[in-house]
Structure 1
Amino acid sequence: MSDTVSLLTKFNFLQNFASLISAWINPAIIHNLEKYHILKKVHYLTAIENIEGDYLEFGVFTGSSFCHSIRVHQMQKKYCGEHTAMKFYGFDSFSGFGSMESDENHPFYSQVDFNSNIEYVEKRIRRVAKNTEYKLVEGYFQDSLTSGPKSYGIDKSKIIFIDSDTFSSAAQAFEFCSTTIQQGTYIILDDHFSYCGDINRGVAGAFKEFIEKREIEVRLVFHYGMGGSVYVVSNM
C-alpha cells in the first residue's frame, strides 16, 4: 500500500509540473507552434496528391507563417522527392485594419495590435526565400484584390491561408480566390471561432457565405491552436 501511495505521489508531482509548464506558456506560442505543424502537414498532403497551384496568404503581418511555408516547401524534397513548382503570394495592408464596419469591432483586432512594416517583412522573407519565387502585395484588400488573380500571374491555388480576421477582409480574399480554387485546394482559417463563435461573423461567416454561394463542398481536416481550422475542397 505504501509503495502505491509513493508511486501516486510521484505521478502527481509530474502532473503538477506539466500543468505549471502548460499554464506558463503564452497561448500565442502554442498557437504558432501548432500552426507551423499544420502548415507542414498541408504542404505534405498537397505534395503527395501532386496538386498544382500556388500558396496564397491573406494577412501576412510580420511574415512568420509566410517564411515557414517557404521553408517547408524547400525541405519537401527530403520527404516527397520532386514536386510541382509553387509560387508564394502574400497580401496585407501592413498598416493594420484601416476602417472597420461597426459589427466587426473586436477587443483584440485593432490597429495597435496588427500594424506591421513591409520593409522589415520583405527583408525577413528574402533571407529565407533564396530561389523560391514570392511576391508581397501591399494595400487594403478593397484596393489590391480588385484586379483579380490573373493580374498577379495566379492561375490555381494549392493552399489558401486566411489570417485577416474580419468578415469583410476575408470575404474579399475568398472572392479573389474564387477562380483559382480546385478540388484538393486546402483552406486554412486562422481565426475560425472569433466573435464568440458566431458562425455568421468574422472569417467563419465569410467562409460559410462563400462556399454556399459558390456551391463548393469542403471537408474539415483538422483544428489547431487557439481557434484555427483547416478544410480541403472536396468537390466544385
Structure 2
Amino acid sequence: MTNKFGFLSKLDFMQDLASVFIAGINPAIIHNLEKYYALKKVHYLSAIEDIEGDYLEFGVFTGSSFCHSIRCCKKLAKIAPKISSTKFYGFDSFAGFGDLTEEDKHPFYTDENFSTSSSNVNRRVRRVAAGLDFKLIPGFFSESLKNGASHLDITKSRVIFIDSDTYSSAYDALTFCIPTIQAGTFIILDDYYSYRGAESRGVARAFNEFVSKSGVKVRQVFTYGMGGVVFVVSEVIR
C-alpha cells in the first residue's frame, strides 16, 4: 500500500500552488500577522500571571500594534478583569528617524518609510480605546523620554514593545523603562536581528546593554515574524 504522505508529496501542482501563494504574500503582512499573535500571547500570559502595570510601546507608527494591544486587553478582561486598569503609552516622533548616526544607518530605516500623522493615529486609537486610558507622546526619544517614566506617572510596566528599529532609539527606550521593570514584565523586540544579525548594532546591542546595566535576568519566550523576539524578566536584582 502506497504511503499517503508519499503520494501527496508527488502532487507537484499542489506544491507549486502553495509555493506561488506563499511567495506572493507581502512579507510585511506575514510579519504583522505573527506580531498580532505575539501580542495576544503576551497579554494573555501576563494576565494569567496577574502582572500589574502599563503597556509601553516605542515606535507607534500608524498605531496598528497599539490598537491591537488595546483590543486584546478588552477581550481578556472577561477572564482577567484587572487587565482593564492597564494604561497604554505610545511614543513616536511621527516624523520618521530624523538624523541618524553612521552606526544607525540602514537601507530600510528611512523617513520616507516611517513618517506618519500623529493626529490621524490619535483619532484611530481613540476610536478603539473607547474608555480605556491611553496617551500618545510625540517627539524624538532623546527629548520625549529625558524626564523619565515618573514624569508620566508610570511606575510599573507589564508589557514593553520596542519597535523603534535603531540602537540609539532602542537604548533610550529601554533606559527609560528600567525603573518600571518587575519580575514578569514582557519585553518585545521587533527588530532583534536587524543589521545582518550583528549583536553589536541595532536593537540587539541596546537590549544586551540594558540587561547588563539594569540588574535583571531575562528568559526568551518565543520568536515571531521576520526577526521579532519576546523575553520575560524572570528576576530583578537591584
Judge same fold: TM > 0.5, yes or no.
yes
TM-score (structure 2 length as normaliser): 0.94
Q: Kindly tell me: are residues 214 and 11 of structure 1, through their superposed partners in 2, closer, same or farther at Cα, counting changes over 3 Å?
A: same
* Aligned-residue RMSD, C-alpha: 1.8
**Shift in alpha-carbon separation, 1:17–1:49, aligned structure 2, 3 A:** same
What's the TM-score once normalised by structure 1's chain length? 0.95
Distance, in Å, in 1 between the alignment partners of 2:2 and 2:179 is: 69
Q: 1:193 aligned to 2:193?
A: yes
Which sections of structure 1, spanning at least 5 residues, go unmatched? none
Q: Structure 1 residue 11: deviation in Å?
A: 3.7
**Structure 2 Cα separation of the partners of residues 216 and 46 of structure 1:** 18
The Cα of 1:9 is off from its aligned counterpart by 7.2
CA shift digits 1:47-76 (9 cap, x unpaired): 000000000000000000000000000111
Work out the percentage of aligned pairs sharing the same amino acid: 56
Give the secondary structure class of the aligned counterpart of 1:164. coil
The reply to whether residue 206 of structure 1 matches residue 183 of structure 2 is no
Secondary structure at the counterpart of residue 81 of structure 2: coil
- Structure 2: gaps of 5 or more residues: none
Q: Kindly indicate whether residue 32 of structure 2 is the aligned counterpart of residue 19 of structure 1.
A: no
Superposition deviation, residue 151 in structure 1: 1.0
1:140 is aligned to 140
Q: Cα deviation per residue 1:134-188 (whole Å; 9 max; x = unaligned)? A: 0000001011001111111111000000000000000000110000000000000
Contact between 2:191 and 2:227, CA under 8 Å: does it hold in 1?
yes
Distance in 2 between residues matched to 1:81 and 1:230, nearest whole Å? 22
Look up the match of 1:83.
Answer: 82
Query: Which amino acid in the other structure matches residue 55 of structure 1?
Result: Y
State yes or no: 1:158 paired with 2:195: no
1:177-211 deviation digits (Å, cap 9, x = unpaired)? 00000000000000000000000110010000110
Q: Distance in 2 between matches of 1:9 and 1:31?
A: 28
SS in 2 for 1:154: coil
Give the superposition deviation at 1:2: 9.6
